[in-house]
Amino acid sequence: MIDELGIVRYMTSHPKDLSDELIEVIGSQSRVEPHIHLPLQSGSDVILKKMNRRYTAGHYLERVRKLRTSRPGITVSTDLIVGFPGETEQDFEDTLQVMREVRFDAAFTFIYSPRTGTPAASWYDEKEQESVHERFERLVTLQNAISLESNQVMVGKTVDVLIDGPSRRNPDILSGRARDDRLVNVSLNDEMSLPGNLVYKRSPAPGEFAKVKIDRAGSFSLEGTMVTEIKNEEAMP
């Protein structure tokens, strides 16, 4: 581990490549962020085999359990695909069941779309799309409820947020990521009074950390207020 690094963000892992050794590193190194993106795609072993994913739902669940034992509090995000050709209602229910067991903190959800040149493209059936969209809505509804429950646990806590910059929706609000990769929108006070009666007016720049008290939670992000700003040397007496 490089001493100068404050946080190591591990982007993603294929479930078949998430080894015990890697899980041990995630669990033992505090500088590795307490988050992992672990694509599931489907909770059905039948569909996973058709996708050539080379793991089962059982293997996936075992990896997640091991991660959470090794690093309590770790957040897990995933990718989910609805409507892969040949997916039955039972296959879809298998996916929902894995979601209920894992309780993903966040998920990127997709409806299958055929890609030219892939074997699955020739299996695509347009007549199935009405039921596929209905399943997709059910999946999104479940995941949004789970994500909201996960985020609500953070309300009232103070967390370190790595600032990315102004929010795309509101330039008066800063946006960044907590150490567990949760998206945080940060409101700024006009002036921040700190111990010693020092007042710092400079907002943190992209790439700097800020301490933020979480006030509200939604399914996709947290909202909070900065409780201390970074030290502005010009404000020092």
In a domain, 68, yes or no: yes
> Of 40, 51, 41, 48, which is closest to residue 118 (Cα–Cα)?
51
- At 137-157, the pLDDT tens digits run 999 999 999 999 999 999 999
CB-CB contact of 41 with 51 (8 Å): yes
Structure-block tokens of residue 49: 């085999």
The pLDDT of residue 233: 40
Asked which of 102, 134, 152 is the last residue of a domain, the reply is 152
Asked which of 132, 152, 172 is the last residue of a domain, the reply is 152
What is the helix (H) or strand (E) element at residue 71, kind and residue range? none
The pLDDT of residue 202: 62
* In a shared domain, residues 44 and 103: yes
Domain residues for 224?
A: 158-235
Whole-structure pTM over 0.85, yes or no?
yes
In a domain, 103, yes or no: yes
* In a shared domain, residues 189 and 131: no
* In a shared domain, residues 50 and 133: yes
Among the ranges given (41-45, 122-126, 233-237), the one the predictor scored with the smallest mean pLDDT? 233-237
- At 18-67, the pLDDT tens digits run 999 999 999 999 999 999 999 999 999 999 999 999 999 999 999 999 99
Asked which of 93, 128, 152 is the last residue of a domain, the reply is 152
- 105 exposed, middle or buried (CB, 10 Å; 0-12, 13-18, 19+)? buried
In a domain, 34, yes or no: yes
User: Mean per-residue pLDDT for 198-214?
Assistant: 77
Q: What DSSP string runs through the chain?
A: --TT-S-B------GGG--HHHHHHHHH-TTB-SEEE---B-S-HHHHHHTT----HHHHHHHHHHHHHHSTT-EEEEEEEE--TT--HHHHHHHHHHHHHH--SEEEEEE----TTSGGGGG--GGGHHHHHHHHHHHHHHHHHHHHHHHHTTTT-EEEEEEEEE-SS-TTSEEEEETT--EEEEE--SSEEETTTEEE-PPPPTT-EEEEEEEEE-SS-EEEEEEEPPP-GGG--
Share of the chain above pLDDT 70, in %: 88
Q: Name the pLDDT band for 214 (thresholds 50, 70, 90).
A: very high
Q: How many domains does the chain have?
A: 2
The pLDDT of residue 172: 84
CATH of the domain at 36: 3.80.30.20
The pLDDT of residue 9: 85
Distance CA 146, CA 148 (A): 5
CATH of the domain at 169: 2.40.50.140
